[in-house]
Amino acid sequence: MQIGQVIRQYRKEQDMTQEEMANRLGVTAPAVNKWEKGSSMPDITLLAPIARLLGISLDTLLSFREELTREEIQDIIYKLNTMLREQSFGEAFAYVKEEIAQYPNCEYLILEAAVLLNAERIKMKSADKSSIEDDYDAVINGWFAEALKSEKEQIRTMAADALFAFHLNDKQYEKAEECLTYYSEQNPERKFNQARIYSETGRTKEAYQTYEGLLLSMYQMLELLFHSIGALAAKEDNMEKVRMMADKQSGLAELFEMGEYHRISGRLELAVMKKDVEATITIMKQLLASIDDINHFAKSALFEHMAFREVRPEFAAQLREDLLKSFQDEETYGFLKGDSRWEALQ
């Protein structure tokens, strides 16, 4: 809102005529009329008296806000995107730089504008037009640097991701690696981007190891999710959902070459839920028989660059003992009572 519009709005709220306002400020009524129409501006020395007269702050009088609404930010970004397509990079840059100057504390505006400009400058560099946008690097990177100081994790991560991509594309690997410190240690994106640096800098073994570690972590997370969803479905007696999750766990283990133990472990809960004696006994025996090969995935080419400890005999023995003990739980396996095969396991 322009200053004239603000004056008009709050003057009317005060039930004050232009003449009354002019008299109290020591100016003419036509002067006030011109302010409100936007054809002239009040003298700077009158700003404080006008604000006091209207009962508002100078920030309100000057329409100063630290933040924009989500819709206003989207409008600016939409216009910036349109200008990047239809006009020069310099014109689009100048437009959004002026908008940011008006709202220097609006982190989302700064970040989204920087991300859009960053993508465009990377594209232009790839097209060998670096002379066009090199002059803008310092400003755009400065915006990202400010975003990295944000208290909001989402903003810090997005800024780090964009800067990482820029430095990696520019083959500034040390600077790219510095960006990774803004990710948490357990963030898979940090590990993935670290692997990209390894790959780009000829550290092939480290790249393989990092990628393969992420692959194994992904399996473990997906397996846990399928198991948890299946357990939730079991509480609701949703047999179809439990069966689906058991099939997914089995298929996942095959896809990641995890071995027999992992392939069949998810099916035990389904067999128990159905009180299927034959299936339950069969799966129990299969699990016990496959304990010694529980680390089958260590032999897979999927993880050939990773180092795994061999399964020690005492570990396998303890796992077998724990399994046998769990199989004795009558609350879970009471339906097997009277079956000699189950009793032989105890």
Query: What is the residue-wise DSSP string for 163-187?
Result: HHHHHHHTT-HHHHHHHGGGS-TT-
pLDDT recorded at residue 171:
92
pLDDT for 29: 93
Measured distance CA(189)–CA(210) in Å, rounded: 11
| Percentages (nearest 5) of helix, strand, coil residues in the chain | 75, 0, 25
What is residue 128's predicted lDDT score, i.e. its pLDDT? Answer: 58
Cα gap 168→312, rounded to integer Å: 43
Q: Which has the closest alpha carbon to 97: 122, 116, 124, 123?
A: 116
Q: How many CB atoms are located within 10 Å of the residue 176 CB?
A: 23
**pTM over 0.75, yes/no:** no
- Integer Cα distance of 238 and 230 in angstroms: 9
Q: Given this model, what pLDDT does residue 111 score? A: 93
What's the average pLDDT block by block, 10 residues per block, for the chain (346 residues)? 84 93 92 91 90 88 72 93 92 91 86 91 68 72 89 89 89 94 88 96 97 96 96 92 94 96 92 92 94 93 93 90 91 90 83
Domain range annotation of the chain: 3-61, 70-202, 222-344
Task: Give residue-wise pLDDT tens across range 92-147.
Answer: 999 999 888 878 888 899 999 999 998 888 787 766 555 545 678 889 988 998 89
Closest CA to 6 of 41, 44, 43, 45: 41
User: 81-94 burial, b if ≥16 CB within 10 A, otherwise e?
Assistant: eebbeeeebeebbe
Fold of the domain spanning 3-61: 434 Repressor (Amino-terminal Domain) (1.10.260)
Report pLDDT for 129.
Answer: 52
Say which residue the tokens 């975003």 belong to: 147
Q: How many CB atoms lie within 10 A of CB 99?
A: 20
CATH number attached to the domain at 70-202:
1.25.40
CA distances 341 to 63, 264, 273, Å, are: 82, 19, 19
Q: Write the DSSP string, 273-320.
A: HTT-HHHHHHHHHHHHHTGGGTTGGGGSGGGTTS------HHHHHHHH
Mean pLDDT of the chain: 90
d(CA 145, CA 235): 49
Radius of gyration of the chain (CA): 33
Query: Positive or negative, the Cα torsion across 264, 266, 267, 272?
Result: positive
Given this model, what pLDDT does residue 66 score?
Answer: 55
d(CA 116, CA 135): 16
